[in-house]
Amino acid sequence: MPRFYGVEVDSALMLGTARYASPSILADAFRASGADVATVSLRREQGGGQAFWQLISELDVHILPNTAGCHTVKEAVTTAHMAREVFDTRWIKLEVIGNADTLQPDVFGLVEAARILADDGFEVFPYCTEDLIVCDRLLDAGCQILMPWGAPIGSGLGISNVRAMRSLRAHFPDVPMVIDAGIGLPSHAAQAMELGFDAVLLNTAVSKAGDPVAMAQAMALAVQAGRAAFIAEPIEPIDMAVPSTPVIGKAFLT
């Protein structure tokens, strides 16, 4: 099972709590997914009030507040401090958005905010790009986990740069890593796990599916299959055929 900052969670699937059609669908989707971590925006919690917080509490999952929508270091740090007070947790999913269209992280602000928060006792889950240098800087800043995007948030494109993700996983073999953003299909989630990542975090792929509960279950099965495949050590792809039936001992007819 994945372990984040010394806490072992029961599932490699992490779910967001935004954009569901109703609170009951959200709750049913979480139960179908088996997810043990829920990301919650401080803005969303305030918008839903006590009823929303009660719903999340009843899910009996680990809460991972995020700084969604923050575009500056100051805004992200302030939001993180507020979230720590509201949710009573040192965990924070740190987002510092650099581009309003792609929602790509501002990696310079991200590293700065991560250092500030880590020094203040937060356990930071940074939403970052797959760049090796950026990830190295985040680890130096005090992060003990990396959360590279697969593709832009909500795009459903899957993992856009598989080669870079494979390189990132190999470069930091002992660092817990979560593919965060861009997952649209169970096959995308399975691929992330097949690459050796520890977990997948998604929201839109479930919350906006035609049947969120069925999709949540499908995603749960996908991460399990992907993890099992990684552990099983898949064969390496090659450019030519290899017969599955050996020719040695085969009868030759004339």
pLDDT of residue 143: 97
pLDDT of residue 121: 96
CA distance 11 to 33: 9
154 is in an annotated binding site: yes
Helix (H, G, I), strand (E, B) or coil at 213: helix
pLDDT of residue 45: 47
Active site residue 250: no
pLDDT < 50 stretches in the chain = 44-45
Residue 166 to residues 36, 163, 179, 230: CA-CA distances in angstroms?
A: 26, 5, 12, 12
Q: How far apart are the first and last CA of the chain?
A: 58
pLDDT of residue 44: 47
pLDDT of residue 241: 87
99 is in an annotated binding site: no
204 is in an annotated binding site: yes
Strand partners of residue 200:
13, 179
Query: CA torsion angle for 12, 16, 20, 23 (degrees, to 10)?
Result: 90
Strands (E), 95-164: 123-128, 147-148
Catalytically annotated residue among 74, 93, 208, 250: 93
pLDDT of residue 48: 54
CB within 8 Å of 63: residues ≥ 6 apart: 37, 38, 40, 56, 87, 89, 91
182 is in an annotated binding site: yes
Quote the tokens at residue 148: 């590279």
254 is in an annotated binding site: no
pLDDT of residue 195: 96
CA distance 132 to 2: 22
